[in-house]
Structure 1
Amino acid sequence: MTMRVRLLSLAAAALVGGVASAQTSAPAPPKPAATPRPARPPAAARETVSATLNGKKVAIDYGRPGLNGRKVDDLIAQLPPDRVWRAGANEVTTLTTEGDVLIGGKRVPAGKYSVYVYAPAGGDWSLILNTDPGVPLKTIFPAAPPERADHLWPILDGYAKIATKEVVRVPMKPVTPREAMDRFLISMEPARDGVSAITLTWGDRAWTVDVKDAAGVAR
């Protein structure tokens, strides 16, 4: 047998042996199933509610954070010393009114306002309206997605920075909610004779304040 034939025979034998080995070897054991990640709480929904007072619309736009098993009192306990809360989630909560209104008996000129809540450790909540529009998300979070970079967010590092722009701070009356709400809810009653009510509900607690058309009411 020539050297060339011998080498070809050895190569063929090696190839056949390799194929046979590959066909008869045990398959690789399956990879263990990936451990599922804990479910994230759903993102806060965005909602707008409104009422029309004698032909003039009052609207509130806000985010709806969820309790997700937590207690309202536990969350409120985490507020800074000024006890001011953003009244929602994510983008700034706003109230827009086409005409002058009375909220809790205090006049609010037509316009657009940012909304906050004063939530003391003890006692009732108060609704706050402020002319500060908020700050672009990109100033808080430089890596914000381009489509949200210019969305306005509330002041998160101290309400004192905008306290001089406060328009009204009115006490709200505690009421029994119609049903417990895991997601924070702002509602407005259908207007009657130019009168509605703004109600904030979270968990098994709720607070309300009247809102009225101010037309014809002396300043």
Structure 2
Amino acid sequence: MKNTKSLLLAFTLFITSSFAAMAQLQAPAASPSAFVSQNVGFTKISISYSSPGVKGRKIFGELHKYGETWRAGANNQTIIEFSTGVSVGGKNLPAGKYSIFITPAATGEWTIHLNKKAESVYAYTKDGKIDEAAVAADDAVAVKSAPKMGENTERLIYTISAENNKVATVTMAWEKVSVSFQVDTQADQKIEQFKSQF
């Protein structure tokens, strides 16, 4: 009898703890956090973002309207960080963090904004949309880039390539579209600066 009561108590505790554990278990995020990093020259380039899925939707032109600035990811802002000073679009940028925004266009080139404040995307939201003028006012640099069409990319992804280990190509791909910009890590200038110190 004592053994039966002990087994029943143990079983009850097991069931109770199982239900408590299940109650704490959350469903996977619809747009999971993602991170990519690459050393290029003397610079570490890192991008942190949330990665939404296509899920059968028409993304550009419908979910994200042409001509409207978008946070280049989901949930919070997309952040790019440079460990040293770099050049983007011919403009020198100091080391630090920048928010990425993208303004897609129905025809022609898209605009990629690197925002110097790296503030929450919601700081730029007005009437449920991102205020492009407010973003542009805080741009460290805005570069134009022609989108490329390709195979479907179900989940938004950023990649960083560095063929010559001096200039990186940062690419955002989602749905059947990819758009890129280049980051000159100024490796040669940094070597010359180092040499001049001796």
Shorter-chain TM-score above 0.5: yes
Deviations 1:148-174 (A, max 9, x none): xxxx75633223334322110001233
Structure number with higher strand proportion: 2
Q: 2:82 aligns with which of 97, 108, 113?
A: 97
What 5-or-longer segments of structure 1 have no aligned partner? 1-39, 136-151
Q: Which residue of 2 aligns with 1:124?
A: 109
Work out whether residues 198 and 208 of structure 1, in 8 Å CA contact, stay in contact via their aligned partners in 2.
yes
Q: TM-score, normalised by structure 1?
A: 0.64
Q: CA deviation at 1:191?
A: 5.0
Question: What is the DSSP-based 3-state SS (H/G/I as helix, E as strand, rest coil) of the residue aligned with 1:163?
Answer: helix
Question: What is the DSSP-based 3-state SS (H/G/I as helix, E as strand, rest coil) of the residue aligned with 1:102?
Answer: strand
Structure number with higher helix proportion: 2
Work out whether residues 48 and 80 of structure 2, in 8 Å CA contact, stay in contact via their aligned partners in 1.
yes
Q: TM-score, normalised by structure 2?
A: 0.70
Work out whether residues 47 and 62 of structure 1, in 8 Å CA contact, stay in contact via their aligned partners in 2.
yes
Work out whether residues 40 and 162 of structure 2, in 8 Å CA contact, stay in contact via their aligned partners in 1.
no
Question: What is the DSSP-based 3-state SS (H/G/I as helix, E as strand, rest coil) of the residue aligned with 1:59?
Answer: strand
Q: CA deviation at 1:187?
A: 0.9
Q: Which residue of 1 aligns with 2:134?
A: 161
Larger Rg: 1
Work out whether residues 42 and 84 of structure 2, in 8 Å CA contact, stay in contact via their aligned partners in 1.
no
Question: What is the DSSP-based 3-state SS (H/G/I as helix, E as strand, rest coil) of the residue aligned with 2:125?
Answer: coil
What 5-or-longer segments of structure 2 have no aligned partner? 1-26, 191-198
Q: Which residue of 2 aligns with 1:171?
A: 144
Residue identity in the other structure for 1:132? K
Residue identity in the other structure for 1:130? N
Q: 1:182 aligns with which of 154, 169, 173?
A: 154
| In the alignment, structure 1 residue 66 sits paired with structure 2 residue 53 | yes
Q: CA deviation at 1:192?
A: 2.5
Percent identity, aligned pairs only? 30
Work out whether residues 53 and 212 of structure 1, in 8 Å CA contact, stay in contact via their aligned partners in 2.
no
Q: 2:39 aligns with which of 27, 49, 52?
A: 52
Q: 2:169 aligns with which of 197, 206, 209?
A: 197
